[in-house]
Amino acid sequence: MKLYNSLTHKTEDFIPNEPGRVSMYTCGPTVYHFAHIGNLRSYIMEDVLEKYLRYTGLEVKRVMNITDVGHLTSDGDTGDDKMLKGAKREHKTVMEIADFYTKAFFADCAKLNIKTPDVVEPATHCIDEFIKVISSLLEKDYAYEAGGNIYFDTSKLDKYYVFGELAEEDLEVGVREGVEEDSNKRNKADFVLWFTKSKFDDQELKWESPWGLGYPGWHIECSCISMKHLGERLDLHCGGIDNQFPHHTNEIAQSEAFLGHKWCNYWFHVHHLNTSDGKMSKSKGEFLTVSLLEEKDYDPLVYRFFCLQSHYRKSLVFSWENLDNAKQAFNKLISRIAALISEKDAAPIDKAAFESIRAGFTAAMDDDINTSNAVTALYDVFKADTNAATKIALIDDYDKVLSLSLTEKARALLDKQEEAKSDIPAEVLELVEQRKAARKEKNFALADELRDKIIALGYTIRETRQGTEISKS
């Protein structure tokens, strides 16, 4: 399988450190608010990646942190503390906020068929690990104490901006947006590992440390939580593209300084979800959440389908109109699968056909998780020269990765249609059957006559892909 690696800017063969096993780390949410669907795009694409790795026979251990301390609004060391902001907004404690929004995040994930990682660890559970790594960085002279805080010294590294050209530009933005300049920092790019002299006097959560009562910076948590559960050599690290700098850049700096060797081989970054007027922000306009989608009568899986229709390394333009198109396409897809299920006869799965058709799907996925082509491969199944049982088996197989609950939804649709039929009087159903027979014999005059009788009894009849639909007029 080929995967684009943000670290090398190349599409490379994915080869885990240990054959057959993958260690995978994902930056989790900062649980101070509901998740924005733009952030959830990253989690959907990471879920597809994880499921495809498993699909190819690899064993995956995936770990995710929950940020419940230390994340400031700027992603750097400036701005407000996000958790504190959430607590003040809702007149609750930080831990109440963390608990509530952690649950809300996983409820959203469940609706989007996103699997929960094998290990989920809140930052506040790992304070001892943070202190251990920070102490070691101080010993090795990669960190320094200034004004009561502990900083990472980026000038000690041969190369700090590991992700290349993007970073410098983003740094400029970071500096411009920075409300206050931290005069304790020796270099502009240095970052806080431990806050003791917090500018937030009302910081609720503080822990004892060798440097006094305080709390950790944001970046240190991912390095420590990853190393705690996945060891010193990580195969794959995922996140949104906005995490590349400063967050992932800082994760690499401190992890490799601590370990003394390379930490993570592959970096997988999912690009932004944008509105047509630029980057979608949580603060501007409507706050797009899974609940809002549901309120507006969109199945959350329609949003998943919408995300799968485009490649994860392309910005995706969100509009209600685009989502409507995805909804229509998704509903049509489910109807077509329902038709296949009704059509299915006793013919068994054709194994040879199954394998040869499936090659189209795996080729798309092997090509840097090209879900857009994988969706095309899914549509190709309908056209394929094989029986219904094989087609249904292929759809179920692809859905192990796509996770759109395809045949499940198709079966629910068929049940609904059956149920609707049970309310129809036997007399009408008999006329419908007679009409079907007349149409089969191409006796259209009789078919029309029967249709008129049905209408006269107060029912409407409609021909669809799944067959004849009858409803009360």
450: helix, strand or coil = helix
Shortest Å, Cβ 211 to Zn ion:
23
Contact between 4 and 10 under an 8 Å Cβ cutoff? The reply is yes
Shortest Å, Cβ 100 to Zn ion:
22
Q: Which is nearer to Zn ion, 226 or 390 (CB)?
A: 226
Shortest Å, Cβ 142 to Zn ion:
19
Helix (H) or strand (E) holding 45: helix 37-55
Q: Which is nearer to Zn ion, 108 or 242 (CB)?
A: 242
Helix (H) or strand (E) holding 330: helix 320-343
Shortest Å, Cβ 251 to Zn ion:
6
d(CA 339, CA 466): 5
In the numeric block, which tokens belong to residue 110?
Answer: 């469940």
Shortest Å, Cβ 308 to Zn ion:
24
161-179: buried (b, 16+ CB within 10 Å) or exposed (e) per residue? bbbeebbeebbeebeeeee
The answer to whether the bond into 348 is cis (omega within 30° of 0) is no
On the CB side of 238, how many CA atoms lie within 13 Å of its CA?
Answer: 28
What's the angle, vertex CA 142, arms to CA 139 and CA 143, rounded to 5?
A: 80
Q: Which is nearer to Zn ion, 27 or 392 (CB)?
A: 27
Q: Which is nearer to Zn ion, 27 or 227 (CB)?
A: 27
Q: Based on DSSP, count helices (H) and strands (E) in the chain, helices before strands.
A: 16, 16
Q: Which is nearer to Zn ion, 161 or 303 (CB)?
A: 161
d(CA 431, CA 451): 8
Shortest Å, Cβ 17 to Zn ion:
20
Place of tokens 């202190």: 131
Shortest Å, Cβ 338 to Zn ion:
42
Q: Which is nearer to Zn ion, 222 or 301 (CB)?
A: 222
Shortest Å, Cβ 243 to Zn ion:
6
Q: Do β-strands 273-275 and 316-318 pair in parallel, antiparallel, or remain unpaired?
A: parallel
In the numeric block, which tokens belong to residue 250?
Answer: 């800082």
Shortest Å, Cβ 71 to Zn ion:
10
Q: Which is nearer to Zn ion, 27 or 340 (CB)?
A: 27
Q: Which is nearer to Zn ion, 268 or 305 (CB)?
A: 268
d(CA 473, CA 454): 10
Contact between 366 and 386 under an 8 Å Cβ cutoff? The reply is no
Residues 6+ apart with CB under 8 A from 170: 244, 245, 246
Other beta carbons within 10 Å of 329: 16
Shortest Å, Cβ 384 to Zn ion:
42
Q: What are phi and psi of 109, to 5 degrees?
A: -60, -45
In the chain, the amino acid numbered 121 is: E
**How far, in whole angstroms, is CA 312 from its chain's centroid?**
10
In the chain, the amino acid numbered 37 is: I
Q: Which is nearer to Zn ion, 218 or 306 (CB)?
A: 218
Contact between 429 and 398 under an 8 Å Cβ cutoff? The reply is no
Q: Which is nearer to Zn ion, 245 or 330 (CB)?
A: 245
Interacting residue ranges for Zn ion, rule: CB under 5 A: 27, 222
Q: What is the DSSP letter of 406?
A: H
In the numeric block, which tokens belong to residue 461?
Answer: 């009849």
Shortest Å, Cβ 82 to Zn ion:
14
Q: Which is nearer to Zn ion, 268 or 303 (CB)?
A: 268
